[in-house]
Amino acid sequence: MTETSILRVESVSLSFGGIQALNRVDLEVLPGEILAIIGPNGAGKTSLLNCINGLYRPDSGHIFFENLDITPLKAHKRARLRMGRTFQHTELFAGMTVLDNIKSGRTMDIQANFFGAFFHVGKAVREEMKHRRELEETVIDFLDLNHVREQPVAMLPHGLQKRVDLARALALNPKVLLLDEPMAGMNIEEKEDMASFFLDIHRDLGATLIWIEHDLSTVMNLSDRICVLNFGEKIALGTPDEVRQEPDVIEAYLGQEEAG
Amino acid sequence: MKSIVTDLYSAYYAPYIKESYREDEAIFKSRFQRTWFALLVFALVALPPFMGGYHTFFMTQVLIAVIGAHGLNILLGYTGQISLGHAAFLGVGGYTYSYLAMVLHWPFWLAIPASGLTAAGLGLFIGIPSLRIKGIYLGVATIAFQFIADYTYFHWTTFSGGPQGRAVEAPAFFGYAMTSPLSFYYICLFMAVVLLWGAKNLMRSKYGRCLMAVRDNDISAEALGVPVFKYKILAFVISSFYAGVAGALLVIHLRNVYPAFFHLNVSIEYLAIIIVGGMGTVMGTIFGALFIVLVPEILSNLISSLAQWAHNPDITVLMAPMRLIIHGFLIILFILIEPAGLAGIWRRISSYWKIWPLPYI
Ligand SMILES: Nc1ncnc2c1ncn2[C@@H]1O[C@H](COP(=O)(O)OP(=O)(O)OP(=O)(O)O)[C@@H](O)[C@H]1O
Ligand SMILES: [Mg+2]
């Protein structure tokens, strides 16, 4: 156990009925790294992210964030520790505009009380404008969402929805960003855009990225380390080169990939 | 070279860059909207003195329905939590008012907010089941509350006046009794404007965004730091506050309070208002209230003239249950054909006129 890890998953197990989604998974994430989680369908990747950000409660094990045991904390409390999250099947707020979706990531930073908001006076208005400007100048500009900000998200094409999902998570100034297949269903160009957003996020915001992805060449190119899951077990963890060599991985994942 | 690029860039984005974000976040963004709103407010303030008692009475009825229905709209339309016990909250407001004003002799300007707050306090508890249950099951739980409330209004005589009800006097302002329908109309107009404007403000604040986030996706709301349960409860509290105020105004308006004012069919009527008008918009509440209060009125006028014409007064009796049937029919019709309600139709028409006379550009 190094003092330096930003996130530590300790022997986390989770089961659904008879299915062991996660089996005593250990994982330590270093600050500022890009860590990929890979594995075949149903390996437990999404379940692991859900345990980390509190949407699932593990049957046993602990999660530490900056050396604080967050296992008992609800998801919204963990978000407040600056843990951002995007979803495999974009779970946007379909009835709201792009701008409101993104602003909702700032909930925890807005202190104005109810009556200020009701009468639209004082601090409530000032805060609202401050965050609007910040979001415009950082997230919206950065992810190139200027042209759609007033549109209801339900009308957007898939690739843009994925970007709004990312924007929303970025709006909460995450220290750790959990991304569940952010490139799924994208074409090559969109994937390249997304990859450059990644590197920018990593460089400019210094956020730690944990992401799930199926496309191995992208994973190998972009990640510092890779964690491989199979049937709920962690079967490998290391740099792309190390992981490529692991016999277990070749058998469980890469081999299957080559065969299929 | 650089300047050409920036010029091109800003030319491309010009339509998206507003002078100030503040202007961009205004309630009425276009001149079209501002003009309509100004006209509407002017008409609502200036016309009633010339309308006569019947129409003023009727307009007051609509305003009260607007206040009550917007409460339900905040709960169901904006937050996605169904309630079939909305009338019971109106009842809490109505009975609290009658008790405070008639038994304890509070002035109306204290008793009305107090009625709203009492209902809001109860809403805090009635909202608790929403932690565990959703959708239709929550609907059933709120019906249970409706029935308990019905029973209470009937039997808790010291508080409610029981089945005979209780007479409610015209509100007095420092000793001056405002018996004319016109002065009460202006009180209701004031309340409606403040409450709708406040609700609109809420929806462009963190509070409104959190309510809508809960409606659209409670899982990702949690993941973004929205305490979902807290906001569900908040929705119940705001919603019942509006209902409580509407209930207080209603009993002043009708000069009486009876258990029958607050039965399940009234809850259904409020549901019909926001479904027909359009959920999740202020416009929807206004259109819906106007429509649902207007239609039975026109219908009963038609029926009584029909009864006269046919020399058969029984028709009026036969037609009495029609009201509920019509509400049910309208709910189904709008859910099937126009889920965005009258407000949706209005939006389509107005976006057409905004770009008139060149609608295809
Ligand atoms: N909410 C749930 N209820 C029941 N079973 C679940 C639930 N969530 C996950 N599982 C099961 O747990 C196992 C792991 O699922 P998980 O979604 O974590 O896989 P994954 O690695 O993300 O797969 P994919 O690549 O398909 O997204 C699967 O067998 C899945 O069916
Ligand atoms: Mg998954």
Out of A45, A228, A256, give the residue to mutate to test ligand 1, the one with the largest number of ligand atoms within 8 Å of its CB: A45
Indicate if the pLDDT at residue B361 is higher than 50. no
Query: Phi and psi for A73 in degrees, rounded to 5?
Result: -80, 140
Please indicate, yes or no, whether residues A167 and A231 belong to a single structural domain of this protein.
no
Structurally, chain A folds into a number of domains equal to 2
In terms of Cα–Cα distance, which of B272, B241, B211 is closest to B78? B211
A89 within domain boundaries: no
Task: Summarize pLDDT for B211-257 with one digit per residue, the tens.
Answer: 999 999 999 999 999 999 999 999 999 999 999 999 999 999 999 99
Mutate-to-test residue for ligand 1 from A23, A38, A41, A47, highest number of ligand atoms within 8 A of CB:
A47
**Which residue, by CA, sits nearest to atom 4 of ligand 1?**
A16
* Whether residues A67 and A183 fall in one domain: yes
Instruction: Write down the pLDDT at residue A259.
Output: 44
Residue B41 within a domain:
no
Question: Is B33 part of any domain?
Answer: no
Is A71 in the same domain as A113? Answer: no
CA A182 to chain centre: 8
Q: Is B226 on the interface with A (CB under 8 A)?
A: yes
Domain stop point among A173, A192, A213: A173
Find where tokens 């029958």 sit: B260
Over residues A235-247, the pLDDT tens digits come to: 989 999 898 888 7
A160 and A242 both lie in a single domain: no
Tell me whether residue A87 is in a domain. no
CB B79 within 8 A of CB B280: no
Q: Could you tell me if residue B324 is inside a domain?
A: yes
pLDDT grade, residue A102 (50/70/90)?
very high
Q: How confident is the model at residue B349 (pLDDT cuts 50, 70, 90)?
A: confident
Mutating which of A52, A106, A108, A120 best tests the B interface, going by the most B Cβ atoms within 10 A? A120
Instruction: Report the gap between the CA of A43 and the closest CA in chain B (Å).
Output: 22
A12 found inside a domain = yes
Task: Say if CB B124 and CB B236 are below 8 A apart.
Answer: yes
A23 occurs within a structural domain = yes
Chain A hits for B221, CB-CB cut-off 8 Å, are: 76, 93, 104
Q: Is A88 domain-assigned? A: no
Q: Quick check: is A72 in a domain?
A: yes
Do the beta carbons of residue A21 and residue A14 sit within 8 Å?
yes
Contact at CB, A95 and B216, closer than 8 angstroms: yes
Examine the domain organization and report whether A15 and A129 are in the same domain.
no
Residue B28 lies in a domain: no
pLDDT category at B319 given cuts 50, 70, 90 is low
Q: How far is the CA of A42 from the centre of ligand 2 (A)?
A: 7
* A118-147 pLDDT, tens digit each: 999 988 889 999 999 999 888 999 898 999
Domain-located, residue A231:
yes
Full residue range of the structural domain in which residue B348 is found: 53-360
List, in sequence order, the alpha helices (H) in B106-180.
108-126, 135-155, 157-160
| Least confident segment among A12-16, A223-227, B355-359 | B355-359
The pLDDT score that the predictor gives to residue B359 is 44
Lowest mean pLDDT among A2-6, B49-53, B156-160, B200-204: A2-6
Task: Indicate if A183 and A260 belong to the same structural domain.
Answer: yes
**Each residue of B256-300: pLDDT tens digit?**
999 889 999 899 999 999 999 999 999 999 999 999 888 878 877
Q: Which helix (H) or strand (E) holds A69?
A: strand A68-69
A255 and A183 both lie in a single domain: yes
Is A178 in the same domain as A258? yes
Tell which wins on pLDDT, B325 or B175.
B325
The amino acid at residue A245 is Q
Is B89 inside any structural domain? Answer: yes
Q: E strands, B166-269, where?
A: 166-167, 172-173, 176-177, 256-257
The pLDDT tens digits of the residues spanning B141-155 come to 999 999 999 899 898
Q: Answer whether residue B339 is part of any domain.
A: yes
Question: What does residue B172 show for φ and ψ, rounded to 5 degrees?
Answer: -115, 135
How high does pLDDT run on average in chain B? 86
Q: Are strands A233-238 and A19-29 parallel, antiparallel or unpaired?
A: unpaired
Final residue of a structural domain among A109, A140, A173: A173
Task: Please state the length of chain A.
Answer: 260
Same domain for A184 and A168? no
Query: What span, in angstroms and rounded, lies between the C-alpha atoms of A184 and A202?
Result: 20
pLDDT score of B32: 75
CB-CB: which of A100, A119, A168 is closest to B198?
A119
Q: In this structure, are A150 and A187 located in the same domain?
A: no
Q: Are B172 and B178 in contact (CB under 8 A)?
A: yes
| Confidence (pTM) | 0.89
Would you tell me which residues 79-118 of chain A have a C-beta closer than 8 angstroms to some C-beta of chain B?
79-80, 85, 87, 91-96, 100, 103-108, 110, 112, 114, 117-118
> Which CATH number is A14's domain given?
3.40.50.300
Q: Which chain A residues touch B351 with a CB distance below 8 Å?
A: none
Q: Which of A46, A52, A55, A219 to mutate to test the pocket of ligand 1 (most atoms within 8 A of CB)?
A: A46
Could you give the ipTM of this predicted complex? 0.91
For chain B, where are the E strands, in sequence order?
Answer: 166-167, 172-173, 176-177, 256-257
CA distance B343 to B286: 9
Please judge whether B225 and A79 are an interchain contact, meaning their C-beta atoms are less than 8 angstroms apart: yes
SS3 assignment for A190-253: HHHHHHHHHHHHHHHHCCEEEEECCCHHHHHHHCCEEEEEECCEEEEEECHHHHHHCHHHHHHH
Question: What three-state secondary structure class fits B294?
Answer: helix
- The CATH number given to whatever domain includes residue B298 is 1.10.3470
Q: Indicate which ligand has the atom closest to the C-alpha of A253.
A: 1
Ligand 1 atom closest to the Cα of residue A47 is 18
The answer on A213 and A159 residing in a single domain is: no
* A72 and A116 assigned to the same domain: no
CB of A21 within 6 A of ligand 1: the answer is yes
Residues in A touching B228 (Cβ below 8 Å)? 76
Average pLDDT for B306-324: 74
Measured CA to CA, the distance from residue A181 to residue B200 in angstroms comes to: 37
Contacts of A118 in chain B (CB under 8 A): 198, 201-202
Domain with A193 in it: 1-82+174-260
Strand A34-38 to A60-65 pairing:
unpaired
For residue B139, give the DSSP letter.
H
